[in-house]
Structure 1
Amino acid sequence: MIPPASPAFDIHSRFEREWAILTVTGDLDRSTAERLKNAARTAWKTEPAGLVLDLATVSFCDSVGLSGLVYVLRGCQARDMGLALAGVAPRVERILSLTRLLSAFDRFHSVEEALKAGEDGQRYESP
């Protein structure tokens, strides 16, 4: 049996309220993590106040994808800028939890919530 094709991977960037927003679509894995890193490097060049990764349509993340997220986190920390994850799917949240990285990221239900919290300097609090 042939497994179903994984969703096409894509990253769109936009800027709002001085924040760079990267909307990621598809699986974040060995074949796509470098594209996430490149998109973050491009966003950092614009010197935004922070970076929001919209992961609402990312349904899978492997260890290499996870290392891409950690790369972005460390890059934002080195530049003293905020990083927020928005719309994290349960499956992706689980891998962050299993690897004990969940608390390293500010997480929000939506990009809008992340932007508002960035203005207010708030961190996401798990229910």
Structure 2
Amino acid sequence: MQLRFSPPAALCTILLALASPSAAQDDYRPLQGQFRIGSKTVLDAPPGEKRDRVYLHLTDKTAREIYDATPGQGRPDACAPDLRSKQAGDLRCVLDRSGQAQCAVAIKLSDGKTALGSVC
């Protein structure tokens, strides 16, 4: 028996594979948020302090996916009781009552290690 290659069938198979939830979850997607280059003092850095890290502030769907994927239950936030927070190392995410999330982390430019990206 000889198998015949059908371009339309092959295309449909590829499109179905790309549309499946497991494939979509593993694909890279655009980030939502902001970044800034700053020093080790998160707020009100003294003049002349070396700007040696990038601060990432992630929002919207990006932050919500990270919040949901972070292990553990959200706990009442120490800084804002109306928020739930999760922390994994230096990555900290908060979730408000409406379901909106925000995550923060800093990356040291000298060695690529992470640092806390928010004050509280």
TM-score range, shorter chain: under 0.3
More helix by percentage: 1
Provide the TM-score with structure 1 as the length reference.
Answer: 0.22
More strand by percentage: 2
Provide the TM-score with structure 2 as the length reference.
Answer: 0.23
